[in-house]
Amino acid sequence: MTLELFRIDDRLVHGQVVIGWGLPHALGFLVVVDDEIAAAPWEQELYRMGTPEGMEVRFATVDEAAAALPAYRADPRAGMLLTADITTMARLIEAAPSVAAVTIGGLHHRADRVPRLRFVFLSPAEAAALRALAARGVAIAAQDVPTSAPVPLEAVLAADGTE
């Protein structure tokens, strides 16, 4: 096992992550990549409180996570890396180009976003950022829980939220 899932989700650690993905994938650790949370012990404690026994949560800045990716991958446990937004994931991939696939787990309604899927809303800038990631070879799909079918990026961008 290794760090096998890279997920963008504005809720970061929550039920779908620790239960929906955590149980079937036997996740042993989560890596929350967020520059602000990495400097906020109170926020870190909040996420630790919500994590089940046996699942470790690590916190890292983008730079720290990029440097630590080989160590995450060498971990014998299954793991998931999380960012709350596309910008942070794009920064990580810029610093660590070995990331091959990213899942959009949840980006929800905001004033500048339009609906794409029930759980994916994107601004024009975010859509462009995802296209740029795809253009450099990163496989991108939207999938909230493991039992739902992954929706490839092109289908996400062609959707209007009425599915």
Binding positions for other proteins, rule: CB under 8 A? 10-11, 13-15, 17-19, 42, 46-47, 49-52, 106, 108-110, 118-119
For other proteins, the closer of residues 84 and 130 by Cβ is 84
Query: Tokens 């810029």 appear where?
Result: 94
Provide the minimum distance between the beta carbon of 108 and other proteins in the complex, in angstroms, as a whole number.
4
For other proteins, the closer of residues 1 and 23 by Cβ is 23
Q: How far apart are CA 136 and CA 29, in angstroms?
A: 28
For other proteins, the closer of residues 25 and 118 by Cβ is 118
DSSP 8-state class, residue 161: S
The backbone torsions φ and ψ at residue 126, rounded to the nearest 5 degrees and listed phi first, read: -70, -40
CA distances from 120 to 136, 137, 152 (A): 22, 21, 12
Q: Helix (H, G, I), strand (E, B), or coil: what is residue 137?
A: coil
For other proteins, the closer of residues 63 and 123 by Cβ is 123
Provide the minimum distance between the beta carbon of 18 and other proteins in the complex, in angstroms, as a whole number.
4
DSSP 8-state class, residue 80: E
Provide the minimum distance between the beta carbon of 51 and other proteins in the complex, in angstroms, as a whole number.
6
